[in-house]
Structure 1
C-alpha cells in the first residue's frame, strides 16, 4: 500500500464527494483488474468444496492492483484499506475482492463444478448506472460504514451487510439475465493463461514454457475425473532422469503408465495386450510344518528358474506342489497372462507360472498397488487359491516393457481404458494415472519433491 495517502474525515467529506469518489475508484479498480492474467481477458473462478473453502484461483494480482491505485481522495484511502483487510481475510481470494469492490464481477453458485462469468462493456455500463443510483439513495454514514443497508433485492427489509455483501447483491441483480458459460477444461491456451496469472507474481515465476505446457497437459488429462471426485488427490508420480548435458532437459509425461522401480522378477517381456491378476498376499495353499516354511525361505533366492525339486528339498510335500500347480492352472484357465503381486510370489508358484508362459511381477509395495490398479482396472485379490476369480476381477495391460531412466531399471505398465473394450466393473476401478519423467541434475531438489509426493500419497491412502 502507498504510504502517502490523504486522511479521511467523514465530517468534512460531502455526500457527493463520497458517491463520486466511489464511482471513480470503482472505474480505476476495474481497469486495473481487467489487465490481470486470464483467458481472453476474462476472470475465472472455481467453486469451493468441502476440502478447500477458497474458491478463487486468480489470486496474485490483488496486491499489485492496490499498489497502483491513485489514492487522491479520502474515499480512495478508506476503500483501499477496506479491500486490503478483506484480502488478508480471504487469503488467496484477493483479486476476487477487487472485483467485488469495483462492483463489476462476481461469482454465484452453478449446478456444475466450475463457473465463469463473461463481463462485457454493456454489463459494465449497466452496473455503473446501478451503483450510482443505489449510492444516491443511501445516507452518507451508512454508505461509508457499509452496515445496515437495505438490499436492492429486499428493499423492504433492513439487513446488516458486512464486507462486500452489498456489492454482491448489486452484481447478482444485474447478472440475473446473463447467461453463464462453463469453462472448457480442454482449452490449453485458456488454462495456461490462468496458471500464468497465478504464478506470475509469486517467487517461482521463472517457470519455463516447456514445464508450464507439460503441467497444463497433465492437468487437462486429470480434470474430468477430479471434477467427479473432488476429494480424491490425483495419481501423479515423478521419476528422475539425469540429462547428459546440464543445459539439455527433456521432460515427458507418460499417461496411463505406472513405473515399478528396482529389481522385480519378470519373465516374457515385452508383452502387449495381456490380461492381469493383482494379488496382495503370500498365502501358502496348504497347511505345512514350520520346517517347510524355513526351507521355502532358503529356496526363495530370487532365481526361480533353478527352483529345487521336491526330492532336492527333502521336506516339501507333494500336496503343496500340487496346490501351487492348481493355482497356476486356474489362473491360466481364466486367461491370465501376467500376475502382479504386492509381496513376494512363492517360489514354486512363480516357477509354475513361468512354465505356463505367465509373466510375474512381485514386490510392488503399497506405494504402487493403487497406481497399478488405476492403470489395469484389476481387483486386488487376497487369496492365492483364486477359487472365485471371474473376468470382472481381472485387468488389462496394453504394453508391459522394461525401461531404464537415470540408471534405474523400471517395469513399465501402460493401459489406456479407452483403447479397448472392458467390462463395466473393471473400468470403474480405473482412473487417470500419470508419470512425469523429469530431467534433474539436483539430487537434493528432486528428493525433496519426491518425498512430498510420497508422503501426501501415503496419507491419502491411509485416510481412505
Structure 2
C-alpha cells in the first residue's frame, strides 16, 4: 500500500519531486554531471579530463538511454561495452546486438610530457562482475576472524553465518560471476571460499577508505 501511494504521488502532476529535464540539452546535462563529479576530489580528475572524457562518457552511456528506459520500463537495457579507439570493428560479431559501443578516448595519467602514447590494450572480455555497496555479512553483530573453509565449526551462530556465506558464494558461482567487488567489506571467509572457486574479490572500494590509504602511503 505504501509503495502504491508513493508511486501515485510521484505520478501526480503537482508532485514537488517532479522535475522536467531536457535530455537533449547537453550543456545543462553536462553542468549537472560536472557538479557531481567535481565535488569528489578523491577522483583526482582534472577539468580537461572531466570535460573531454568523463562527461561525454556518462552522457553516452547513461543519460542517452534515460528516455528509452522511461518509455520501456519493462525491457532490460543492453550491456554497456567500453572499447578503445582504433580497435577492430565488431560489426560482424553477435556481441554488438547486445551492446552499446562507446568509442571514447581513455585518459592515460602519469605519462611523461612529450612521451609517445602507448597502444591501448584490448578490452577485458567474458567477465561477469558482481558489485555490492553493502557489507556482505549475514550477522552484522557477529565478527569472525576464522578464514578456514572447512565445513565443521562449533557454535550455532558461527555455523549459521558460515553456511550463509557459502550459500552466497555458491549463488555467485551459479550466476557465473568471475569477480566480486564491494565498496564495503567482504568477509575473509567468503573471499577464501570464492578464491577456491577461482573468483576474484576486491573490497573496501569506498572513496573514504581509499583516501585514508593514500594519506598513510604519503
TM range (shorter): 0.3 to 0.5
TM-score (norm 2): 0.41
TM-score (norm 1): 0.22
Which protein has the bigger strand share?
A: 1
